[in-house]
Amino acid sequence: MSTSADIETHPLRLQSIARWTDLPDLVTANQGEAGIVEVCDLLTERGAGIEAGLLHLDDVDRFAYSGLAERCVRVLLERGTRIPSRPSRTPPRWSTLSQTLG
């Protein structure tokens, strides 16, 4: 089971998720993909937990402003996602994510 747009494009993946008979406890939803808010809406309506996958720095902005943070169980920073090493040089988007997640 996957929500990845690489496996099934939007909106076909919504139809596939709607047909899942055995829902996983937790699903990773990559925040940079088209239609991800709708995917997360459907998953939470059906009772699955969401892990927000952040693959790129731009995904942080999308996630922070999507309103999904309160519904996510956890956030996954994929290997290779660059996190600034010096707080004084932290881009505003990382501050936004930190505030969003509390």
Per-residue model confidence as pLDDT tens digits over 41-91: 999 999 999 999 998 888 888 898 899 999 999 998 877 655 555 444 445
Q: Where are the beta strands (DSSP E) in the chain?
A: 26-30, 49-54, 72-77
Structurally, the chain folds into a number of domains equal to: 1
Task: Report if residue 6 sits inside a domain.
Answer: no
Q: Give the other-Cβ count within 10 Å of 29's Cβ.
A: 22
**Residues 6 or more apart in contact with residue 82 via CB below 8 angstroms:** 57
Q: Which two tokens stand for residue 44?
A: 């939470």
Q: Give residue 65's domain range.
A: 12-101
Task: Report if residue 36 sits inside a domain.
Answer: yes
Question: For residues 67 and 92, which has the higher predicted lDDT (pLDDT)?
Answer: 67
Rounded Cα–Cα distance for residues 91 and 88 (Å):
9
